[in-house]
Structures are given as C-alpha cells and as structure tokens.
Amino acid sequence: MRRTALTVAEDAFRLLVCEPAPLAFDGRPIAGLPDRHIPLDELRTMLRARTMSPDTSDAIWRQLAHQARHWGPAWTVGAVGAALPGLTHLAARLSKGFTKLADDIDSELLAAFLHALRTDDLQAPRVWLRLCWAAWRAGVKVRRSDDLLELPPDVPVGSRTPYRPYGHPDLVLGRAVAAGIITEAQAELIAATRLGDVLIEQIAAECGQPGSAIRMRRKRAERKLIAALQRGDLAVPRRIATATA
C-alpha cells in the first residue's frame, strides 16, 4: 500500500484507539451524543452518519479543535483521525487524473486542515465544512501549480498540440486566470463546485454570504469563460502562441 501523509496519520490514530485504553471523547455535555466517554474511532463512525444534526457536528468539532489546541499532541492526532474519512475522500477526488501529484496533494491537504484546526474561528457555524474547504483549496493549489509549470526547453515550438492534456478543465481554468479573463478566486470557485464535491452552501457559510450571491458570482465568471472559449482565446497556452507568432 502506498504510504502518504494520510496513511501515516491513520496508523497513528489506530494506535490511539487501541484497547485497553483508547482515547475517548466526553459526549456527556453534547446534546445528541451518548451520555458517556466515547472512543474516538466510535465517534468517527458517528460523525459520518447522515442523521447527525449540524448543531451536534459543530459542537463536536469545536470541542475536538479546542482539545487539539490545548490538550496536547494526542488530541491533534485524534482530531485528524476523526477527519480522515472525509479528508481521504477529498484527496481521492483531487488526485483523479493527477496520480503523480497524489503524495503532494495528501500532504498539503493535511497541512491545511491542521492549520485551520489550530486557527479557525470556532464560533462561526459549519465548523467541519470550513475545515474541509481549507483542505480542499490547498489540494487544488497543488494541481494548479503543476498545470502552470513552464514547458521544458526541449519541447518543439511548432503549432502542434501540446503534449499535456490541454483540454482538461483545470488547465483551461489555469489559462483563463493567466490571461486575465477570470480571477484566481473565480477559478477556484468553478473548480471546487463544478469539478469537485464542494457545495455552494459550504462556501456561503465560510464567507458569511447567501448562497444566491455565490451562485451569481460563479455565473458571471462562467459567462466570461464561455465567451473566451467561443472566441478561441484559450485554444493554446499563451506562451506557445507567442513562440509561434
């Protein structure tokens, strides 16, 4: 099995929840949880249930983040372990078509989640979604940085189609940003909600804006992108077009 930052984190989590003394979360103060100490692997299963209310999820993640910040490294590992099913799903989506970047995506995604876990505003709603959004953005940046790498010097400068899959949606978005047609934030919004699993409501919760405003922002960006595609502005990378002029 391939070893990445996420698989290493899973191994560390499993050590924490081993019998006879698994690390346990106090569920008694939180409505919707059993009135007892809950081993973290059991809590992780509960967090994945679709029946859990947003308020209960928020209360759990606020407490996990607080304990990760103030109760020592074991609780940092525990909080990451509770998040791993979701993080692994995000990493798999981001790595699709970018196999060579899988290790980097896993590492940056986990690092961004940890940073948000330690620094995010715990009073705002949708704690889990905002932590995931921070991780997703970091993974998207890994893919985009690869998309925008300079071509190697031995690539012919004729008008042939580039070797890279220049029609891939992420590459089109990257070229649109480079050409000044849309902003990087607009490209991230389109990539996350059209190509990924991020919901408009998730972004709206993070930004403190209504979902309708986020949808309108995406619609305006997509209109600019479609117009540029229809004009042929994004047919080839600008650096190749310049070289062949």
More confident: 12 or 190 = 12
pLDDT at 238: 41
pLDDT at 187: 85
Summarize pLDDT for 160-182 with one digit per residue, the tens: 333 343 345 667 887 888 888 99
For residue 71, what pLDDT band results from cuts at 50, 70 and 90? very high
Helix axis angle for 73-95 and 40-47, nearest 10°, is 40
Question: Which helix H or strand E contains 223, and what residues bound it?
Answer: helix 211-231
Tell me how far CA of residue 172 lies from CA of 52, 138, 166, 176, 236, in angstroms: 38, 19, 7, 6, 9
CA proximity to 144, closest of 180, 111, 105, 200: 105
C-alpha–C-alpha distance, residues 196 and 185, integer Å? 15
Which sign does the torsion angle of CA 210, 125, 40, 51 carry? negative
pLDDT at 211: 77
pLDDT at 157: 35
C-alpha–C-alpha distance, residues 10 and 224, integer Å? 43
Residue 167 forms beta bridges with which residues? Answer: none
pLDDT at 89: 92
- pTM of the predicted protein model: 0.65
- Cis geometry, peptide bond prior to residue 20 (ω within 30 degrees of 0): yes
C-alpha–C-alpha distance, residues 200 and 215, integer Å? 7
Tell me how far CA of residue 22 lies from CA of 66, 94, 212, in angstroms: 19, 32, 45
| Average pLDDT, integer, range 217-233 | 87
Label residues 180-218 b or e (16+ Cβ within 10 Å = b): ebbeeebbbbbbbbebbebebebbbbbeeeeeeebeebb
CA angle 137, 143, 144 (to 5 degrees): 85
**Percent of the chain's residues with pLDDT above 90:** 45
Helix axis angle for 127-147 and 54-70, nearest 10°, is 70
pLDDT at 146: 56
